Amino acid sequence: MSETSQSIGQRLIMGSGYYYFSLLINKGITTISSIFLARTLGPKNFGMISIINYLTLLLLLFTGFGIPTASVKLIVAEWTKERKEASAFITSAFLSNLLIIILITFLFYLFAYDIADRVYRNETLGSLFRISAFALFFFSLTQYGNGVIQALSEFKRLSLLLIFNSSISLCLLIPLTKFFGLRGAVLSQMITSIIVFLLCLRIFLFLCKKYSLTGFWVNFNKIKEQSKKLFSFAFPVFLSGLVMTPALTILTALLSRLRGFQEVGFFNVGYSLTQIILFLPTAVGVPFIPIASRLASEDKERLKDFLLKTIYGVNIIVLLACFIIGFFANEIIYFLFGPKYEPAQKIILLLLASGFLSSFGYIIGYYLLAIGKVWFGTLMNFIWFVIILTPAYHLIKRWGLTGLGLTYLLSYIVLTIVFCFYLKNHLKVKMGQLVTHFLLGVGFLLVLFLFRTFRPEFQRITFRFPAILLEVGIFLCFLAVFILLVPKSFDKRIIKQIFIKRNVEEKI
């Protein structure tokens, strides 16, 4: 955690820049992997591997139990007091997390066939779940290691670890899937998890020498004392994730039961492409949490200013990304995944609109974590969880992929409204400019969705001149509105100030 003369904005950009670059490479490799699996396995098996991935993601929430995220803030807090205390806390948190990881992984392995039969009605998934249990164990250990690396502000090494993870995964995925099919794809995840864990361990040992971290051996009383502090913060973080992460698993399970695994494959195509726009808020969160955690205890007024600059900067870039991806959605699906995945266009525009709104929620969530209001964040996530699941069954049963997309969009609209009222009432923020961004982004994507849904020439991927001409006209109209309304002096000033150096006495 070296001190520099950089402003907090510059540190945010440098830290998120490293992670954004790694996410970009990771997404490129993941997209190649998805294309390979989609073309090699077909829609049904591709839907099955998607189910495995979504379930693993859900179980990672339980094995982590909020400890990796909570450790970022608490390690920073202990570091400001004494490095030896930070080392002892790292040990206590690891042992606590290890017990949970062993328990959850064992239960998943034990009940793999029951889950496959009773939840997904497919016995083939049972053996695949047992293989993925080993991947779950090592990915969970790496998840905690990533939290420690993030707390030490080693964003470059964290980014390199992510790149290595996706790279080795692709190198193993292609030959194993070619030889063993669906089982080979799951085996590649297991082997990758072991290799990445060993690399993460090596990075941690290097950082121990770099920062002269000592005092890892602690007695039982010390572990008990620090574990209480850990779980008092980790538990609400876990609950916050508990009402968010399972939604994806539940919704895809519901979609598979009502419409089949093929529909899940179509959804996975749209969902994976939508994640592109969430690169930036995800990358920003890595340096935002430790920086904002320090500002929360040192200068709350600067924290508010830092929050607003981050929100507007992220919002503008994500809005432009939504325009581009939404406009070329049909062509992207056609060229990357092939014509048999054409139905994915029904949901991608709705998911883009939802993702655009959720990027705002990402930053607010990081802010709430930094200031310690994790219970309020948990409440907001619970509201989102209830809203997204309440109409899900009826909408999916009636409209399939489109119904699932509408469910996502409705839930994020409500959550965005709540967060806007929070900023207005508690931080006294003027919301006019931000609301304009939201209406513009969501409006453009909904207009495209309506045209492609209710006009015959937009119901399939086509390169006919009238269809292309009409889409270009829609895009230019919204672009003109964007140019006239969005880049006002306030936005320019915010972006410019991010790069301005602060005085030395304001350093972090």
Across 230-265, b (16+ Cβ under 10 Å) vs e yields bbebbbbbbbbbbbbbbbbbbbbbbbbebbebbbbb
**Could you tell me how many residues make up the chain?**
508
Tokens of 154: 């080693």
pLDDT at position 3: 44
CA distance 65 to 239: 8
pLDDT at position 84: 66
pLDDT along the chain (508 residues), means of 10: 50 61 78 85 84 88 87 71 72 88 95 88 87 94 90 81 89 92 92 94 87 66 74 80 77 86 84 81 77 74 80 82 81 81 83 91 87 83 89 89 92 92 83 80 83 61 57 70 55 47 37
Place of tokens 């510059």: 10
CA distance 366 to 343: 35
**Model confidence pTM above 0.75:** no
- Greatest alpha-carbon pair distance for the chain in Å reads 74
Tokens of 364: 């607010």
CA distance 24 to 36: 18
pLDDT at position 175: 94
Instruction: Give the CA distances from residue 339 to residues 38, 279, 343, 462, in Å, rounded to whole numbers and listed in that order.
Output: 12, 27, 9, 11
pLDDT at position 303: 80
pLDDT at position 466: 62
Which ranges in 390-457 belong to alpha helices (H)?
Answer: 392-399, 401-426, 432-454
CA distance 259 to 264: 8
Instruction: Give the CA distances from residue 8 to residues 80, 263, 295, 469, 495, in Å, rounded to whole numbers and listed in that order.
Output: 18, 45, 10, 45, 13
